[in-house]
Structure 1
Amino acid sequence: MDVRYKRHKQARKTLKEIEESPRDYLVIHYSCESFYDIHDGRTPRITSIAVRELDSGQTHSFSIHKIAEKQGVPLDVINGKYDELEKAMLDELMDFIQKSTKFKWVHWNMRDINYGFPAIYHRYEVLNGTPCKIDDSRLIDIARVLKDCYGEGYAGGHPRMQKLLELNDMSHRELLSGKGEAVAFSAHEYVKLHQSTLRKVNEISNIVTMACENKLKTASSLIEIYGWSPQSLYEMLRDRWWFAILAFMLGVVAGLVLEKAWSF
């Protein structure tokens, strides 16, 4: 089987599973200090996290500034109490994870110690917490699923999320780029970072829904999506609406020809 077609088929299977049971999926995204600006070897501090229920759209958020508000800490002195506030924020997240064992978690490139679940767990351990870890079998990197489904250049450039939003005429107002997040963190603009995180988790959810419904616009050609094998070419044709009509008409014609042949 053609490797391109095999990856496409597996990705479509994943999207089909999400489409059939959206209530079983959560979408997560978070913002943090830029790891490019850290020169002492430590991992980036986390500023905000958003978790959205794919089916209902209900969003749960965890952020430095919300914890500060609860504890009566003014925004302009958050930096002096950052570790304490970050620990309290991650306490809330870990409690949420512990109560969400039935869900699968959809994310965008949250795979490693620089940016991802390993980074979140590590930060919590650095702050003397014991993380509640999500089993890898319940993690779905939708960025990788989309690449497998549509091919390497599906977004038409980098950063892929922003390019994909532009391709689909989706608003990315309030979304900060990686550089923008670094600037906002340095300026202690934690509310701005949180708004960006909320917007990103919302847009990722929209991307997932559109991909599941096969309505997502991409920059990929049909060959980039399906590959070159006979099986993949058949799959490509089968996905065209006119192919179903053509197949039906050919079936009717074949049936009439056979019926006429048997009448002699």
Structure 2
Amino acid sequence: MNSIKKYERYVKTRDKLKNLSKNESNSLVIHYSCESFYDIKDGKTPRITSICVRNFDTGQTHSFSIHKAAEIKKVNNSDIPKQYDSLEKSMLKEFFDFMKKNDKHTWVHWNMRDINYGFQAIEHRYKVLGGKPYSLDDNYKFDLSRALVSLYGNAYIGHPRLPKLMKKNKITEKDFLSGKEEAEAFEQNDFIKLHQSTLRKADVLANVLGRTLDGSLKNNSKWCERYGLSPKSLTLILKEHWIVFLIGLAASIIAISQFIID
């Protein structure tokens, strides 16, 4: 990527994070789990199993899940597969009602960008079930995954990025399921386990967001990967951070002077 573009993207993302930091009570962290879309052979969109939305400021979490919908409708866990569509529709109705009431919040997510996995996928699934989803304005969606790439560069952490970020930052993996493990849990109708994983992942995303905002997120990026190395990008960096540059320059001059004197 062009160094100027890289730096401009960095500044744009940094400014969005600053605004988010100023309005933490209006920031919601969302994550959801679904049937594995890699194993579906008939082209249908994957079924949703659970959705968790966590207020970044208070930590209060709203959850929407198949097993909760089943409990409300007095459906035994063993009978959930037989009534999955109606239970899923009830769950998604509750979710979209919540979204509509909170549509002016910033919804922080991880790669929820398309019809395979994302807001569009949830909307489409509800349409398939006969519902009318509420469509959240894209301006209120914030992709934390892309933001970290803009801040630190593509090589800031290896793949899969979220689990490796957790390991790098010593964030516990309790209840966290990998994609393969989630698919296995779905096949075994272990919806409670899936829900616990979704809750955990929403918590992890809030943790990563917090560390990003306070500058404590550990990663593998280098300075040049963040800002790019070109005369123009360095000029922009110097223009924006001239006070830091002068302090650093003064410290260097003092250190050199002391070395000469000694």
Task: Please say whether Structure 1 and Structure 2 have the same fold, judged by a TM-score greater than 0.5.
Answer: yes
Secondary structure at the aligned position of 1:60 is classed as: strand
Distance 1:182 1:133 in 2: 27
Unaligned runs of 5+ in 1: 253-264
Unaligned runs of 5+ in 2: 255-262
**1:67: how far off?**
0.8
Q: TM-score, normalised by structure 1?
A: 0.88
Q: How many residues align?
A: 250
Task: Give me the CA root mean square deviation.
Answer: 2.3
Question: Is contact 2:103-2:140 (8 Å) kept?
Answer: no
| 1:204 counterpart residue number | 205
Q: 1:124 aligns with which of 102, 120, 126?
A: 126
Distance 1:42 1:244 in 2: 59
Which letter maps to 1:62? F
Secondary structure at the aligned position of 2:120 is classed as: helix
Question: Is contact 1:27-1:201 (8 Å) kept?
Answer: yes
> 1:157-172, aligned counterparts within 5 Å?
157-172=158-173
Judged with a 3 Å threshold, the aligned counterparts in structure 2 of structure 1 residues 175 and 248 are, in CA distance, closer, same or farther, namely same
| 2:113 counterpart residue number | 111
| 2:153 counterpart residue number | 151
> 1:74-113, aligned counterparts within 5 Å?
74-113=76-115
Distance 2:133 2:68 in 1: 21
Per-residue Cα deviation, 1:68-111 (whole angstroms, up to 9, x for no partner): 11111111110000001000000100110111122111100001
Q: 2:54 aligns with which of 52, 55, 60?
A: 52
Secondary structure at the aligned position of 1:36 is classed as: coil
Distance 1:177 1:39 in 2: 21
| 2:12 counterpart residue number | 10
**1:246: how far off?**
3.5
Which letter maps to 1:145? A
Question: Is contact 1:238-1:244 (8 Å) kept?
Answer: no
Secondary structure at the aligned position of 2:175 is classed as: coil
| 2:135 counterpart residue number | 133
Question: Is contact 1:31-1:47 (8 Å) kept?
Answer: yes
Q: TM-score, normalised by structure 2?
A: 0.89
Seq. identity, %: 49
Judged with a 3 Å threshold, the aligned counterparts in structure 2 of structure 1 residues 203 and 132 are, in CA distance, closer, same or farther, namely same
Q: 1:32 aligns with which of 34, 59, 71?
A: 34
> 1:169-184, aligned counterparts within 5 Å?
169-184=170-185
**1:198: how far off?**
0.3
**1:132: how far off?**
0.6
Distance 2:232 2:216 in 1: 23
